[in-house]
Every structure is written in structure tokens, then in C-alpha cells.
Amino acid sequence: MSTFKIRKITDSFHPSNKNSIDQIFEILRSHFSSVKEDKINEILEQMKDPIKYKFSSSIFVAEDNQANVKGFAIVFYMPDTNFCYLDYLAVNPEKTSSGIGGAIYERIREEARLLDTIGIFMECLPDDEALCKDKSDIKQNQARLAFYERYGARVIINTKYETPVKPEDDCPPYLVFDNLGNDYDLSAKNAKKIVKAILERKYPDYCPQEYVKMVVSSIKNDPVELREYKYINKNHKVEKHKAIKNRIPLIVNDKHEIHHVKERGYIESPVRISSILKEISKLQAFELKTSRSFPDKYILEVHNPKYFNYFKKVCSSFAEGKSIYPYVFPLRNATRPPNDLSVLAGYYCIDTFTPLNKNAFIASRAAVNCALTGANLLLEGYHSAYALVRPPGHHAERDVFGGFCYFNNASIAAQLLSNYGKVAILDIDYHHGNGHQQIFYSRDDVLTVSIHGNPSFAYPYFSGFSEEIGEGIGTGYNQNYPLKENINGEEYLKALLKAIKRIKDFKPEYLVISLGLDIAKGDPTGTWSLSATDFKNNGREIGKLSFPILFIQEGGYKNRTLGINAKNFFEGFLSTRIK
Ligand SMILES: [Zn+2]
């Protein structure tokens, strides 16, 4: 099978989505002649104004690597009645490749489960010759119903749903229900609400009120009856899925351990990851996902190629176990970089405690892959993801490394996401996210917000002041909240709420959180005193946000409480997470 990926589109006006949407409408026009031009405009209107239409619309699009659309589905989510409605599922007949339709439908079922809905409803043209004067499409209708039966989706029977609205209408559709493999019986009461919602919202101008009433009152069986399996063996087992609401895909950097600097006092150590993993796995909310590989070009959109090449080259030049630390810095003449690789370290670094060694590059490169995998999961429609990585990244700027960071994982992920809509980065590490600030300083499509110890006493000392607000068109799109030396959980929460307010006003499509846990009481690099309960409170506030959220691990060095604080943070997050 040729490769393709499925992406969820909620904003039809973003330029990068426009190309896909144009292709979708081209497919609709050329292959589904029954779809009229005003129908297409209506879909765009619906996406723009979910309040007016009382449902939110999403397009799931399957694309190959050249962004050719191979298939798509249009799905409505009706929160008041808690179901999904599949409006279209179409495969591009010119680019057919087996499995596309099934993959898209499986993705929609996953979405319906993530939203914790009772299931998916859809209309399918009948396979009953008695309902159709025109017999030519019966075979196609049979194939479609058989396709959905494989997922356990069956026709609702003994209602008047398949009554023509106008006498001249031929082949009136069935209503089909997929209960997502749960043993869920659809009550007559719910069915009435749902049928009313479908007819009124999907056909506001076509179905008269009397027609809607007639169909709704025809629902008498409780629970409603579903047609026996017709195309597959009735003992066919539809795969059952455990509830996956509140499930967070987790991507762990499996190459982090090789980056182990054993010098005394180097606190950015491998045990950090295992401490977090051990505790958060108790929540049973995380689903481990394999990290995928991404080309260097994603890094080069954020970091200077000269720095990238230097870092790669110098690391590969070391013998295993040997590290160098930067020791001369180009304060006097930055235009004349020295030739010697070890002297050059200071040209690309902001401090003297972040070493270069053979494994630093390999581990950092793998961490970037994890962050990009997380970003892609959001593009595919996951509501959140957590890249549990080290080395961290938020101190790495476009041209320089430092603060235990080499590649700016969160910024690289944000840059990828920014191709699909506005992005906010919220840095809640104890230390200022100078990398994010510097990388996006003159942009208005990526908002950077950081809450941290005031640089007058905290690393990185030279940035993070409140008057740094961005430049050019980026003015107003960088926001720093430098806090005093002694802060308790309550005071922290006040700053967090301000930051959240700023992000909500920005209305991003995606939120990337630089998740530092060094705000905790007793952290060797911090001065604050947040307890496990405070972490839970912080998570709770972030859980209330409705944007897809990508968490990227940054600092946090008090290993005894690190995992417990992470667990509490995510416990709070999940307790209020809006579906
Ligand atoms: Zn930190």
C-alpha cells in the first residue's frame, strides 16, 4: 500500500488547508455529480460557524507525501446530543489505493470514541430494490452497507426514516448506526432527539416540520431495532474497544539514556525519565506511541544550518565518553569564528556547563523526532500528546545551545504546527524559555508565553524580562511573567491564570507546553516551593483549555518527587479536560 497520512482539518481558511480543501471540492464536483455547488459552500459555512449550526464540522483527509488528497470524510459532532454524524466519506477514484476508505473510517471511529460519544450515525442509500425505481446503483449501495457492517454499523429499522420527503424523491436513505463496538442499545428517547437533530440541522430547508415530526414519532421500539447482519456472518465479532476518553499518546525518547554526562553535578540525567514514567503509568491514561523519523529540514526551519552542521560534526568527532565544554566566547568579534572545533564550541553556546560529546547529537536528534511525532499526532486529530524527552530544548536558540539543551524540541514542533494554524507556546519551566522567545520573536502567528524566575537572579539571566514583548509584526506576541524568588503554589497559579488568559485571547489552533517540573519545592535549580497538590491545580487549569495540546518535557531535577509531580499534573489535567 502506498503511504498516506490522515489529518484532521477544522479551519478551512488556513492557507495550508486550502490546497487540501480545493482538492476535496474538485473530487466532490467531478465524481459526485449529485453534490451541488451550494452544498459545498454550505460545508464551508458550517465549518466557520459551529454555534449557528449547533455542531462542529471537521474534515479528515488522507494525503500522500506530495499532499495529494486520496480520500476524505466530513464529520459533524453534535455536543448537545452527543453523537457524530458522518456526512461524507469519499475516496478519490483517480488515486485509489486499497485501504484508504477503511483507514479514514477507523480514524473517525477513534474520534467518536475520543469525544466519548454514543456512536456514529450516517445515511446510506438503500440496498432494497423496492425503495428504488432506478436500480443501477443498488450494487454500489450494497457494497457500502457491507463495508459499514464490518464495523458493526447497521441500518435502523422499523421507523419511517426512509420515507421520501417529496413524492418524486427516489432511493430515500437509511439511517445507519455504529455503536463503536460498545454493547450500547440506542433508546427510543435518544433516537428521537438524534433523528430530530439530523433532519433539522442537515436539511433545514428541505424537510418541513411535519415531516420531521412524522419521522420522530415513528420511532416506537425501545431500544431501537437494528437490521440483522446481511453481508457478514452474524457471529462476526466486531472488535471491542476499551474506553479511550482521556487517553494521551505518549512518545518517549528511547535514545535518551546514551546521553549520560557522568561529571559531578550534571543533574540532567537519565533517571529523570524513568522517575516520570514510573509514576505517570499509574494513571493508566497514556498510550505508548513509537517515535517516527523526520528529516533534518524540520530542524533547519528553526536552527541555523551552520550551528546544526557544527553540532553534528563536532559530536561525531569525539571518542565515546569524552566531553568538551565551551570555554572561550566570541564577545569581542563574532564575525570571526575560530577554526578549531573545540574552541568553536563557545561560538555556538551560551554557558559553560552544557557539554558536547558523541551522544549529545544522537540523543537530541531522537528527541526532536519524538516532539515531531507528537505534533503529527495533533495534526491527525489527537486532542493531546506528551513527548517525554531529554535532553530538554527550551534554552536552545536559533544559533546557540546551552542550559542542557541542544535542539529546541518544542519550537521545532510549534514551527511544524504553525503551517496548519496559529500556535501558542506556554513555557512553565522554572527557567525562562529564551529559545522560544528568540526563535519566534518577530512573528505574530506563534505566541510565546513564559512564566519563570526573574532573570535578575535566575538562569538564563540575560532574557525573560517583562518588557521583552516581540519586535516588528511580532510586537505583542511574546509575553514574559518573571516572578520573584519565593513563590508558593497559590501565587504561581495567579500567574498561570494570567498566561492562560493571554493564550485564550490569541485563539490558537494548537498549544505547545514546555513542561518543566523544576518549579517544585526543593528543585536544585529552582527557588520555588510548589507541592504535588499545586501541580494538580496547575494541570486542572490547563485541562480546561479546548485546544489540542502537545506537552514537551523540559527541566525538573529533584528526582525523588519528579514523577509524583508529573503524575499529579496530568491527573489534574485529565480531571477537567474538555472533550
Ligand atoms: Zn528549567
Distance of alpha carbon 434 from alpha carbon 452, whole angstroms? 11
CA of 546 to the centre of ligand 1 (A): 26
Distance of alpha carbon 307 from alpha carbon 400, whole angstroms? 7
Give the three-state DSSP class for 95.
helix
Q: What amino acid occupies position 510?
A: Y
CA of 428 to the centre of ligand 1 (A): 9
CA of 249 to the centre of ligand 1 (A): 24
pLDDT in tens, the chain (579 residues): 457 788 888 777 777 788 888 888 888 887 776 777 777 777 778 777 777 777 888 899 998 878 889 899 999 999 889 999 999 898 877 655 568 888 899 889 988 887 889 999 999 999 988 888 877 788 889 989 999 998 889 999 999 999 999 888 888 999 999 999 887 889 999 999 999 999 998 888 888 999 999 999 999 999 999 999 998 876 666 655 444 445 799 999 988 888 888 877 788 999 999 999 999 999 989 999 999 999 999 999 999 999 999 999 999 998 888 888 887 777 767 777 878 888 788 888 888 788 888 899 999 999 999 999 999 999 888 889 999 999 999 999 999 999 999 999 999 999 999 998 899 999 999 999 999 999 999 999 999 999 999 999 999 999 999 999 999 999 999 999 999 999 999 999 999 999 999 999 999 999 999 999 999 999 999 999 999 999 999 999 999 998 899 999 999 999 999 999 999 999 999 998 755
Which residues are annotated as catalytic?
395
CA of 247 to the centre of ligand 1 (A): 27
Look at the domain 245-577 and name its fold: Arginase; Chain A (3.40.800)
Q: Which residues pair with 249 in a beta bridge?
A: 287
Domain assignments of the chain as residue spans, ordered by start: 5-226, 245-577
CA of 27 to the centre of ligand 1 (A): 50
Q: What amino acid occupies position 230?
A: K
CA of 440 to the centre of ligand 1 (A): 19
Give the three-state DSSP class for 196.
helix
- Number of Cβ within a 10 Å radius of residue 63: 19
- Per DSSP, 420 falls in state G
> CA triplet 251, 492, 540: central angle to 5 degrees?
50
- Per DSSP, 295 falls in state -
- Cell numbers given for 102: 477503511
> CA triplet 78, 541, 380: central angle to 5 degrees?
50
CA of 403 to the centre of ligand 1 (A): 8
Nearest CA to 147 out of 74, 232, 87, 84 is that of 232
| Residue range 5-226 in CATH 3.30.565.10 | no
Nearest CA to 276 out of 539, 553, 526, 551 is that of 553
- Cell numbers given for 333: 568579534
Which pTM does this prediction carry? Answer: 0.76
- Cell numbers given for 4: 498516506
pLDDT at 411: 98
| Biggest CA pair distance of the chain | 88
For CA atoms 266, 268, 270, 274, the dihedral sign is: positive
CA of 452 to the centre of ligand 1 (A): 9
- Number of Cβ within a 10 Å radius of residue 159: 22
Which residues lie closer than 8 Å to 254 by C-beta, 6 or more apart? 291, 366
- Number of Cβ within a 10 Å radius of residue 232: 12
Nearest CA to 266 out of 323, 342, 314, 329 is that of 323
Distance of alpha carbon 10 from alpha carbon 131, whole angstroms? 36
CA of 268 to the centre of ligand 1 (A): 10
Residue that is written with C-alpha cell 524568588 in the block: 485
First to last CA, the chain: 33
- Per DSSP, 549 falls in state E
Query: Mind giving me the DSSP string for 230-256?
Result: SSS-TTPPPPP----TT-EEEEE-TTG
CA of 327 to the centre of ligand 1 (A): 22
Whole-number Cα distances in Å, 63 to 7, 36, 60, 412, 454: 8, 24, 10, 22, 46
- Cell numbers given for 252: 518517549
Q: Are 518 and 429 in contact (CB under 8 A)?
A: yes
- Number of Cβ within a 10 Å radius of residue 402: 21
